[in-house]
Structures are given as C-alpha cells and as structure tokens.
Amino acid sequence: MDKSRTGTATHPHGSVKAVLFDAYGTLFDVYSVGLLAEQLFPTQGQALGVLWRDKQIEYSRLVTTSSDGAHYQPFWDLTRAGLRYACLRLGLDLTAEAEERLMNQYRHLSAFPENRGVLQALKDKGIVTGILSNGDPAMLEVAVKSAGLDDLLDHVISVDSIRKYKTHPDAYALGEQATGFKAQHIGFVSCNSWDALAATWYGYCTLWVNRYKLPFETLGTSPTHSGKSLRDVLTFLTP
C-alpha cells in the first residue's frame, strides 16, 4: 500500500522542499467581511460572516460529490450563493447594492499580518512556495495582489482546472503536479481542520494553524504538526 495516500507517511525534518498554503481562512481572513456586514446589518455581522463561510464550504462539497461534479460552479458563484442563503436564513434584507458591497469585500479580504514575513523566510531558505485553493483564478489573483504577495509565491493553484473542490484527492494532487515533488516532500498549511485532515490523508506533511483554539477533527487522524500562527511553518516545516 502507498503510505503517502493513507496519512501514515513519515516526514523527516528537513525533507520538505515546497510549502503550499490554503488561501481562504489561512492567508486571508474570511471573517474580516464581518465588519462591513455589521455596518449593513447591525448586531448580525458576526453571525452572517460565520454562516456565509459555512454555507460556502457546504456548497463546494455538494457540487463536488453530486452527480460526479455535473453541478460544479466556480467558487465565486458559490460564495455569492452562500451569502444569499445566509441572509435568507437570518431574515436579512439583502439588497442588490449590499450584495455587491459584500462580494467586493470578499474579493479584497484582509491578509493576516505574518504572511509576508513567513513567505519571505521560506524563499530565503530556497523553499518553493505556493497556494492550493478552492478559489477560482480570478478571485485568487485579486486577493494575492491586494495582499502584496504575488512576488513571494511560485505557484497559485486553483482547483477550478479540474472542477473538483477540496477535499477531493484530485484537488490535493494538483500540488504534486505543479511543484514536481511527491506529497511527502510538500508541506501543506491550513487553518481549516477539515482541510488539514484531508491533506494528511493524502500524504502531505501538514501544519494545522489553530488560530481560534478549536479541537481538531475526531476521525482518528491528527495533522503532522499543529501551531497557532503561520510563523510555526518556520519551526515545523523547514530546517
């Protein structure tokens, strides 16, 4: 059996040659939309931000697993659909103007402050860097440029090319294809526990960034490493 596909592969310290980051929730703060949401819908901003994100992810799984992906839609469209659902669920009157303002805010999500320093340190060590994301290419291009990270990323990989979202194994395989390295030599970093778990199962050397002090998924597999911020990449994934 190929252990790199079971999440049981070993990852000797210093064996990582590339580090790939999830984008939404890991490099870019998906809950930063809550500030504008609170302005538009007083007392409901945080609830809207959380429900919007949850529905966005739920829809990505739904369109991947239903009818062999026949119902696939780009992540931008799923993001809009998730916003509309969240407002319906919360009983909020989402005008066309408010929808466009919130969608534009999602296009320009706040970046976490340590991003640039961590990516620069990886480049200085000769580590290949990249993003592996559910976001479609246009979304990622704007987000990366807005955060000023385009000069520090060797790869910006979107699952849109295969029309399957994470956690499908084909989505994680894109990292190997782009970098030319086997999974056991690639570090994968995510703040989303479900993403870190699936990447571990695939065979990546994983770092779960637990910013919100949450328990990890209780399915019998742990990430290779756990940390509190992206800076832990430099502790756990590089020599």
- What is the residue range of 44's domain? 30-107
* 7 and 48, same domain (yes or no): no
* 38 and 96, same domain (yes or no): yes
pTM value is 0.92
* pLDDT for res 2: 34
CA angle in degrees (0–180, nearest 5) for 86-57-100: 50
CA angle in degrees (0–180, nearest 5) for 51-140-20: 95
* 118 and 63, same domain (yes or no): no
Active-site residue, 22 included: yes
* 161 and 203, same domain (yes or no): yes
* 19 and 71, same domain (yes or no): no
3-class DSSP state of 228: coil
CA nearest to 212, candidates 1, 43, 36, 53: 53
Catalytic residue among 22, 29, 136, 195: 22
pLDDT at residue 13 greater than cutoff 60:
no
* 53 and 125, same domain (yes or no): no
Last residue within a domain, chosen from 64, 84, 107:
107
Q: What is the pLDDT of residues 147-190, one digit of tens each?
A: 999 999 999 999 999 999 999 999 999 999 999 999 999 999 99
Structural domain count of the chain:
2
CA–centroid distance for 229 within its chain: 14
* pLDDT for res 16: 95
Other Cβ atoms less than 10 A from the Cβ of 63: the count is 21
Residue 24 φ then ψ, to 5°? -85, 115
3-class DSSP state of 158: strand
pLDDT at residue 132 greater than cutoff 60:
yes
Mean pLDDT of 87-112: 96
The DSSP 8-state label assigned to residue 206 in this structure reads E
* 62 and 157, same domain (yes or no): no
- The C-alpha atoms of residue 204 and residue 228 are separated, in whole angstroms, by 19
Q: What is the pLDDT of residues 193-238, one digit of tens each?
A: 999 999 999 999 999 999 999 999 999 999 999 999 999 999 999 8
Last residue within a domain, chosen from 43, 77, 107:
107
Q: How confident is the model at residue 68 (pLDDT cuts 50, 70, 90)?
A: confident
Question: Token digits for 117?
Answer: 């320093």
Mean pLDDT of 31-49: 95
* 118 and 213, same domain (yes or no): yes
* 171 and 223, same domain (yes or no): yes
* pLDDT for res 67: 85
* pLDDT for res 1: 28
3-class DSSP state of 132: strand
Q: How confident is the model at residue 69 (pLDDT cuts 50, 70, 90)?
A: confident
* pLDDT for res 4: 35
Of 9-23, 66-80, 88-102, 110-124, least confident by mean pLDDT is 9-23
